[in-house]
Structure formats: C-alpha cells, structure tokens
Structure 1
Amino acid sequence: MADWQVVEGGVTAPKGFIAAGIVAGLKSTGAKDLALILSQSDAIAAGVFTTSQVRAACIDYCRQCLQLKASARAILCNAGQANAATGEAGWSDAQESARLLAQELNIDPQAVLLASTGVIGKRIKMEQLRQGIMPLVRAASEKGGADAAKAIVTTDLVTKEIALESTIEGRPVRIGGMAKGSGMIAPNMATMLGFITCDAAVSTGLWHQMLKRAVDRSFNQVTVDGDTSTNDCVLALANGQSRTTAITEDSPNAQKLESMLTAVCQHLAKAIARDGEGATCLIEVQVSGAPSDRAASQVAKTIVGSSLVKSAVFGRDPNWGRIAAAAGRAGVKFHQDELNIKLGDLVLMRNGQPQEFDRNAASNYLKTAAAGEYLQGDTVLISVDIGLGSGQSTAWGCDLTYKYVEINAEYTT
C-alpha cells in the first residue's frame, strides 16, 4: 500500500510555491497561454531534456542555466509558439523572456527556467509576452496551480496535475506536478512538458538522479504516435520548505521521496497517454520474463507503439498476432515457444501455442474498456511473458483513431 495520499493544489501544494496562468494573447483562441511557477526561496533544480538534434531555444537555455547553477526560482512557460528551429532570433527571444521575468521578480535571469510549446518554426509573440509578464507575476498565488496547468496545454482535451503528501521525520512532505501532451509523444530522455515541485530538502546530485530514474519509469514509457518533440523537457524544483533534514544519500527517506516522485510522474505520463490525440482508451502493456528490466521495457514500448496493435484496439479487434509480431521485432531475443499473451484476463497464447478464447468476449472487453465501463476503468491491459528471466516493465499508450489523422492533417491550416 502506498505510503502517501493525494492532496489538492497541483504544483502549489508543496510549501513555498505559487503559480499563475493567464491570457497573454499568444494563442489566437483567447485561452490561457502563459504560465508561471515560482518558488519563494531558492530551489534545487534538475531537468531532463529531449535528445532531438532540432531543439527549441528554451531547451538550450535551460541546459545552460543548469550547467552554471543547479538552482532556480521560477519556471516560465508560453503556449502557442514552440520557438523551435527559429535560429538566432528565437534564442534572443528566449533570453529576453527570462530577463523580463527576472526583472519583474528582482532575481537573477539564470534563476528562471523556460519552456515553450506550440507550432515548430514559430517564434514567441514577444510583444504579447512583454505585456503579460507583470500581470502574470501579480496573478501568482497558492491557488494558481490549476490556472498554470490550463495555460500550458495545446491540443490537450484535459489538464494534467496531481499532488501527493507523505511524512518524513514526522513532518509533511509534498510533491506536486503538472504536464501537457497529447500528440508528438514518444519521449527520448524526457517528456512533452512536465513540471515538478517539491518541498523536501535534497542534495543537487541526488535530486537529479531521482528525476532521471523517475522519468525513465514514467514519461519514457509512454507513446502516442512515435514522434519525439523538439521541446520535450521535465523540470523539477525542490525548495526544502518542509524543514526536514537534507536528504543527501540513499536512505529510507530518499527511497520514500523517490517513490513519491515516480508516482507523480507515472500519473502524469498515463494521463498524457490517455489524452492522446483522438484516443478513446489507455493501453497498458505489462512485460515480464525478460532477461533484464531494460529488455522488458524495449518489448513493452515496441508493443504499445505498434500502429497495428493500436489500430486493432481502436477497431475492438482481439488480433493477438499483432502483439506477438511486435514483441518479436523488439530486438530482444527469446524463444517463441515460451511466449505468453493475455488481453485482460483472457489467455490468447500460452507457451507459444494459440489458445481457444471467446472472441466476442475479447471484443467486448475492448469496447467496454474504451467506454470506461470495465473494472479497470478505461484501460486496455495487455500482458506478455517472454519466459527468459525476471526482468519486467510497463509501458503506456493509446489507440490510433481516425481523429488523430484529422487533428494532425489540419494542425496549421
């Protein structure tokens, strides 16, 4: 049983954090489009970023800041323009964005981390951003987490946020998070956009290690369409306001904090997969019997990312052959006569042999899962055992629908 509870507030649930989300005019829709997360004291900062060779200016800016100083006070995120592939002008825009916020807050520009989301090749609408900085700062409050979560979305249908509370040394400790993402989802070292706040005291190196491992077990285990973004990043701030003793090395306290961090990241990652563009359901692939956890992850991600598997789920077609084929091409050696496949509780293959199963029941399972009526909510569970060892992993994705094509065919037109 988890040693924590869900609390309200998102990124402002931890002590010492305030946030805001406003309409600055960056989006043509008139929706909220500029977000701020602010720690009221210096916070240990860590980030994990896209490995794409085509990167947004905010990615390079954050990397530069964190290399110079592993602490920060604020995260500024604009939605509407990705500011990726925008050359020297885009870099200047990023620098000016940080400088403007720093001046308003009276802090060092290097204490401002940046994120952008929107159309690649489009620079930030700087006139609107300039005019938005002052009202954004004035709007920041302990109740501003929900507005901030709204201000970072693009094609998302819902906002994604959570906060958990536990105790360390008898004192309450909280971790909050919010994320955005719906399309262009196949993270490589990071995610779409994810922001984490924490009021525990933790050393710089350990906080970065915790974040990296949590991301590997969450955001790096989701896919919607196989496309890695130019703007993928997870930024995490820990300000120590819980007043616990600093966690500097592996210990029960460190393990508890990392478990909370991983749970926050996994909740957000699954919410992103469930909200995949055009999706009707979440797909969860559990792989066991692999020679290592890494190998299991490779198989799970290959299956959940298969266009044929995703299409079959959308068509409510229990075509287990597509699952077997995806497992077979994942690059992990195993004996096909030891392969086991289940759809929910239905056994489709045992020890490499096809099993008789009720196809109507399997199809109904897919239909009711997509409708959110099944016991597991709106999740289609696929279980695969490759019979080689103790390695195991879970990956998440969604079905592939006509709506996905429609959304992306008309994205800029």
Structure 2
Amino acid sequence: MDVAETFASLMSPEGRVDPYPTYERLRAYGPVVQVGPGTYAVTGHAEAAELLRDPHVRVLEGDVRDAVMPDWRNSPALSSIARSMLRTNAPDHGRMRRLAAGAFTPRRIADLREVVAAEADLLIDAMAAASRDGTPVDFMAEFAYPLPLRVICELLGVPAVDRPLFRRWAADLTGVLEPEITEAELAVADAGATELRGYFTELVAARRREPGDDLITALVQAHDAGERLSGEELLSNLVILLVAGFETTTNLLGNGLTVLLAHPQAADALRRYPEHAPAYVDELLRYDSPVQLTTRASGAALVVGGIQLPAGSWIVLLLGAANRDPRRYPHPERFDPWRAQLNPLAFGAGPHYCLGAGLARLEAQIAFVTLLRRLPELAAAGMPRRRDRLTLRGYDNLPVALGALAPATDRDAPAGTAPGTP
C-alpha cells in the first residue's frame, strides 16, 4: 500500500472506526506527505501547529470549493458553513468572531461553573432514576449530549422546550465536515441545515420583538445596528455556535469516559484528587481527540517539514495524528495525565482556535469529576457503537451500568492546579 492508498484508507469504515493505525503508517513517510495531486497530509505536531498559525495558510474559501464542487452554493449545509466564522478568513473572520467572543471570555466561562455542576448533578440523578432496577443506560443520550447542549442553549438564549430538536439536525449537518461526502449524505446534511436555519429565523424574529440577556439578542442587535453582520452571516453563525457548542464536547465526554473506564487506577486518582481534572482533560483531548482533522489551503509556496508545498496546495491537518506524535509525546499510545507537556491540537491553533475551547474544558472537568464521585461503580455495560465519522470522532451509543449513587454533597469544581502525581 503506497502513501496515497494509505491516506485513502482513512475514509474506509475500518479507518473511520479506528484511524490511529493508519496515522502511524502515514507517519512512517514523514510528518508532511503528498497524498495526491496538490494534496498534502500532516501528521507531525510541530508542523501542524506551524501551519495552523501561518498567515499564508487559510481556510477553504469559495474559489477553492469551486474547483471541487462548482454548485456548492446550492447546498444549504455547505453555504451555511461557508458563510460562518468557521470557514472565513481575515478580515471577515475576525469581525464575526469578535461579535461572539464576549460570551466566551474566561470570566464569563468561570461564571458558568455552578450552572454546569448543577446540570451534571441533575442528569446523574435522572440516569439513576432510569437505572433503578440495574438496567444500563446510554451515556451519550442521557448525559454527554444534554449537558453541553443545555449550557450552550443557555448562553445563546434557546428556550428549553426546543432543545430536544437539535441532536438529529446537528448530526445531519456535520456530515459536510467530513473529507468525503456522498450525494445522499449531502442531502441529509442539507435537510438538517434547512431545519436549523428555519428555527433560528423564527428565533431571531422573536428576539427582535422581545430582546433578552443572551448571545442571540446581542448578535441580532449587532446586525440591526449596521453593517457589522449580514443577515446570512447572522443565521450561519448562530447555526455554527449551536452545533459547535455541543457536538465537540459531547464527543469529548463519550471518548473520555471510555478511556477512564478502561484505566480504573487513573479514574480512581481523579476521583480522589479532582484538582488534577484540567490535566486529565487535556490528556483525554490528546489521546482520543473529538476533532480528528481540519483542512486548509496555502496562499503561498511554503516549506514545512522539509517538504515544499506549492501555492494553492490543499492541506489535510490530521490533528488526531499530531496529538500522538512521538517527537512531542513519548509513548503517545499511553494514556498518561501526568505528562509534563500537553497543549494538544484538539481545538486547533492560530486565528481559528476554537472559540468555545475554554467552555468545553470546564464542562469536561466538572463532568468527569462529578460522574466518578457520584457513581463510584460506574462501568461499561455492553458494546458501544462508534459514529461513522472521521472528522468528528465520537459515539452514537455508549451503554453504562451505574451501580450505587452517592449524594450531591458538594459541587467543588476542579481548582485548576498544575498536574502532578497524587
């Protein structure tokens, strides 16, 4: 199997379920390798970080998409993503990002600590009630999905009664983030995008009539005050803020719990020393990243990792591989929350570093500590089912047995101290 065939195997069902062996086969060719005409894959941590921060390396704009799919503008899913901050470059990216950034400052995120802790306790109580006779519960449906959804909806100002609608719509839409998508999959993504845009069109009108203390109201007022946000940008960014606000964290919670249950000694150490939750979450992000790849295009000729990338090259940054680069992380296949150096690329780097990374980390830190303390007998209870995705890596279903339930006696969130062996 040559390098192009190895890269292509990532798109196979086996490659999507477990991409890590394929990453290592690609890594054997070097940290940056050409995998097709004008297309390069990056497995090295240093090289990926460099490219993500390089001002000449940009997200894929319309002219690049035109060469691959000339009619992409007719797709509600593709056009929604393209008009959001996720897929725009400077200066538009910075303009849109600044309008939303106020909701994700460290102070605003810290203020959500008690909200997240209370929601985690409520969801654990509900799981325990559903499992009173010992029946396993689906962790994804009962905890990993609703916790971050409730938090991002609270920030945005989405009414609680509408929140159950979003899981399917978001799952459908995010199919367009995959490296390859069939016409049938695109039709499903378009349906999800249409539903989400229709929902937010109605909610924007409602916020114009009755403003609230939420991000939707702030973005609506920014749009109505002038030219800082077009109508299409308003809808597209609301869709992205909602979807990105829970999809990545949902996957982090599912992937992370699976790892912790497979490493009971590490889980017990976190149960006893919750102040080390920040280090645990960063290692979970490194070990099995909820976002496995992102794509860029080079606006100028570059030399990275000893390889020359011509201007216009298509670059596939394999974040999941970079997070297991042995040059950066000795014995990367080991789950080791006591590593001296983390800083995984799970949330990207540079100008497109995930706006909600701090919130996702807070949610995961609180969630894992609360789950382990309140459910000391928590265990896997059957075969989980992975999503058939590569870019957004997570579970569709993750059955768990709860065992005994401890009371919510305290809500001490992780202190955020430096990691060290307990």
Where on the TM-score scale, by shorter chain, does this alignment land: which range? under 0.3
**More helix per residue:** 2
TM-score, normalising length from structure 2? Answer: 0.26
TM (normalized to structure 1)?
0.26
Name which structure has the greater RCO, CA cutoff 8 Å, separation 6+: 2
More strand by share: 1
